[in-house]
A and B are shown apart, each in its own frame.
Chain A
Amino acid sequence: MATRKSTTLNLGTGTFVLLGFAALFFLTTQTTSRGINFFANPPHYELTAKFDNIGDLKVGAPVSMSGVEMGRVTKIGFNSKEYKAVVTLRIDARYSQIPTDSDAAIYTQGLLGGKYIGLTAGGAETYLKDKDQIDFTQSAFVLENLIGQVLANFVKSSGTSDKSNKSDAPAAETPKATEKRK
């Protein structure tokens, strides 16, 4: 009788402790970006890209081409000579055929979503290899800058008045570009 009771006791305790540690394990590995990936860390290679402004791009942000996720941002550094952000991208080895003249741009997911990097394929015959750099980059779209430009445009166009073609100009055009056109 005593042994049977202690068996249920051990079984209960064991199950509970196992469940508890399984839960901790799940939390640390499956809900975080830095956790261990059990489905064997897939083979990958790294690329870098320099941006003038990365907005609020974060480590772990997805890198995609044509909407297909190809990898993640693994490191964000700063080049103090050129004053540019250096972003390291880890690309899945399955996608090894990215042309060398492809360009990288920072986009926003949804209206208020996080930033991600979108790659657009170029036409070169050679492909990017490990540790290569993507030369063509486009900075993050910063809403405040855009609003500033629109306002500047607006002030300018209302100042010079009755030039009907002004209103047709794209809203995002910079003041400089508008001046050149004149």
Chain B
Amino acid sequence: MKLARELWDSLFESLVGLGSVTRFLLRLIAASPRALLRLDLVAQQVYNCGALSLVIIMLSGLFVGMVLGLQGFQLLQRFGSEEALGTAATIGLVKELGPVVTALLFAGRAGTALASELGLMRATDQISAMEMMAVDPIRRVVVPRFLGGVIAMPLLAAIFSVIGIYGAQLVGVQIMGVDSGSFWSQMRAAVGLSDIYEGIVKSCIFGITCSLIAVYEGYYAMPTAEGVGRATTRTVVTSAVVILFLDYLITAAFL
């Protein structure tokens, strides 16, 4: 009986949470056109979310690509078709690893920064102070951060994929000795614009998801040190689960 009660309560709570996230998203979308008038604020957040994540994205992309090159080569060699390495690595990176790994890293690097920043603003009453000065904190603080993340994420994913392809080429062609010509020509023959398109759609959706979860958790964080910490943790955990779930949905939709 008690268990059923608790189950019901947690279900109820998650439903309320889902509704409140959705309403928050609608508020952000409604406030977006006017926030775009203050482009400098958005640009600053593109810098914070995007430019500052470049190093981690590029390094991870390089290593993911190199591992793909090694593993792909080992596997394809068994079938005597090492030349397909370019195709395999590119499709894997552009459609799956690029958007997903970038989104996970983005949640860890930029999402946590957003959540803790907003949470700390909440905890130190900066948000209340803005409301008191008749400045809409959503428009002034939250929407630029959200939009910054939404803009930065697809670009980061594209950079990740390109660096990854370079990494795969580095291992496959330079070290393992796959023919450079067939690496690229088989890739060009097999990869279609629709594959790239799928990657872009995925990374855009992940960008919206990650940024939304981060600003939501931060904005509604409990105004205590513990609350900020919890908001940061929840950002990463929720983002990771939602991204992987959405990834399955989008992949299925594109098949």
Known: A19-B159, A33-B189. A112 touches B79 (CB 8 A): yes
Total A residues in contact with B, Cβ cutoff 8 Å: 32
Is A17 in contact with chain B by the CB < 8 A criterion?
A: yes
Of the candidates A17, A32, A110, which one forms a contact with B188 in the assembled complex, judged by CB atoms under 8 Å apart? A32
| Chain A residues closer than 8 Å to B192, beta-carbon distance | 32-34
User: CB within 8 Å of B: which of A1-35?
Assistant: 9-10, 12-13, 15-17, 19-21, 23-24, 26-28, 30-35
Is A114 in contact with chain B by the CB < 8 A criterion?
A: yes
- Please state if B47 and A13 are interface contacts (CB–CB under 8 Å): yes
Complex Cα spacing A96 to B239, Å: 58
- Please state if A61 and B187 are interface contacts (CB–CB under 8 Å): no
Stretch among B80-88, B127-135, B136-144, B228-236 lining the A interface:
B80-88
- Please state if A20 and B158 are interface contacts (CB–CB under 8 Å): yes
Of the candidates A16, A24, A35, which one forms a contact with B47 in the assembled complex, judged by CB atoms under 8 Å apart? A16
Query: Which B residue's beta carbon lies closest to that of A25?
Result: B158
Is B165 in contact with chain A by the CB < 8 A criterion?
A: yes
- Please state if A28 and B193 are interface contacts (CB–CB under 8 Å): yes
| Chain A residues closer than 8 Å to B154, beta-carbon distance | 20, 24
- Please state if B83 and A110 are interface contacts (CB–CB under 8 Å): yes
- Please state if B193 and A16 are interface contacts (CB–CB under 8 Å): no
Query: Which A residue's beta carbon lies closest to that of B187?
Result: A31
Known: A110-B81, A110-B83. A33 touches B51 (CB 8 A): no
Summed over the interface, the residue pairs from A and B with CB atoms below 8 Å come to a total of 100
Query: Which B residue's beta carbon lies closest to that of A30?
Result: B188
Complex Cα spacing A16 to B185, Å: 29
Query: Which B residue's beta carbon lies closest to that of A62?
Result: B185
Shortest A25–chain B CB gap in Å is: 9
Instruction: Give the interface size class of chain B.
Output: 35 or more
Is B240 in contact with chain A by the CB < 8 A criterion?
A: no
Is B111 in contact with chain A by the CB < 8 A criterion?
A: no
Interface SS of chain B: helix
Is B162 in contact with chain A by the CB < 8 A criterion?
A: yes
- Please state if A110 and B80 are interface contacts (CB–CB under 8 Å): yes
Complex Cα spacing A33 to B43, Å: 34
- Please state if A23 and B155 are interface contacts (CB–CB under 8 Å): yes
Complex Cα spacing A12 to B51, Å: 6
- Please state if A112 and B80 are interface contacts (CB–CB under 8 Å): yes
Complex Cα spacing A69 to B196, Å: 26
Complex Cα spacing A60 to B193, Å: 13
User: CB within 8 Å of A: which of B87-131?
Assistant: 90, 94
Of the candidates B46, B50, B79, B200, which one forms a contact with A24 in the assembled complex, judged by CB atoms under 8 Å apart? B200
Is B60 in contact with chain A by the CB < 8 A criterion?
A: no
Interface bits A129-160 vs B (CB < 8 Å: 1, else 0): 00000000000000000000000000000000
Query: Which A residue's beta carbon lies closest to that of B61?
Result: A23
Beyond A13-B44, A13-B47, A24-B154: 10 further Cβ-contacts under 8 Å? A15-B51, A16-B152, A19-B159, A24-B200, A27-B94, A27-B196, A31-B187, A33-B191, A60-B190, A113-B81
What 4 pairs between A and B have smallest CB-CB spacing?
A20-B155, A23-B158, A16-B51, A12-B51
Could you tell me which A residues sit within 8 Å of B by CB distance? 9-10, 12-13, 15-17, 19-21, 23-24, 26-28, 30-35, 58, 60-62, 69, 109-114
